[in-house]
Amino acid sequence: MDNNSVLSSAKQRENLFLKKVYLWMAGGLLVTALTAFLVASSATLMRALYSNALPLILLFVAEFAIVFILSGRIEKLSSGAAIGCFLAYSAINGATLSSLVYLYAGTNILSLAFVTTAVVFVVAALYGTFTKRSIKGWGGWLSMGLIAIIVVSLVNMFIGSSRLDMIISIAGVAIFTLLTAWDSQKVLAMNNNYGAMMSEDELNKISILGALELYLDFINILLYLVRIFASRRDN
């Protein structure tokens, strides 16, 4: 099937669309994990990243730029460019997460957090995909919850309360779990919004966009769980 062919009927292409979304998401997570372990295992790369703040700042700027491009301008990209941006984002994110691998190597914190994240993510994604109830209205409340977490986290940078940090982490897991369900239903809507007319190029691009949304949910749940398990170990 070439890029100009039309995939008709949103319902008929739903399984293919979901398969592509979750395969790309899994591919992104694999790239992130491999990059994180590669960087963490190299003293040279770790020094290059963490000897001063500039490399990390540049990486964070690159991440925001890629998310902006994929979220706001994906229709102007080719499917190949969209895939390249997503994989580049996954690799950059892996580099920024290498510090976690370095810090918790030799412990069970990362493996425990990953398994727990996978279970939580799958349950939430299945609910969002198969529930007959519309959860579109959750979006506003979840956005306010995210803003609240960001504000409280900034405040806690000055307070340094371990109890508040635990509350923030638990709230973060809860919010991103609900976001996983919400984004899973949103992904279905992305497919349905195209109706009966979609080219293979369009299918690939919105699959990447859906994969990015769910990838970010997974990563954030993982990060908050790492904080929770690490805090429990330190106490």
Predicted TM-score (pTM) of the model is 0.91
For residue range 175-195, what is the model confidence (pLDDT) as tens digits?
999 999 999 999 988 888 776
Give the whole-angstrom CA distance, residue 70 versus residue 28: 14
CB burial of 95-134 (b: ≥16 within 10 Å; e: otherwise) equals bbbbbbbbebeeeebbeebbebbeebbeebbebbeeeeee
Q: If we measure between CA atoms, which residue out of 24, 44, 136 comes closest to residue 98? A: 44
pLDDT of residue 95: 95
Q: By the 8 A CB rule, do 204 and 20 touch? A: yes
What Å distances lie between residue 54 and 36, 48, 49, 191, 216, CA to CA?
A: 19, 10, 8, 40, 24
Residues of the chain with pLDDT under 50: 1-6
pLDDT of residue 234: 59
Average pLDDT, the chain: 89
> 3-class DSSP state for residue 48?
helix
pLDDT of residue 196: 64
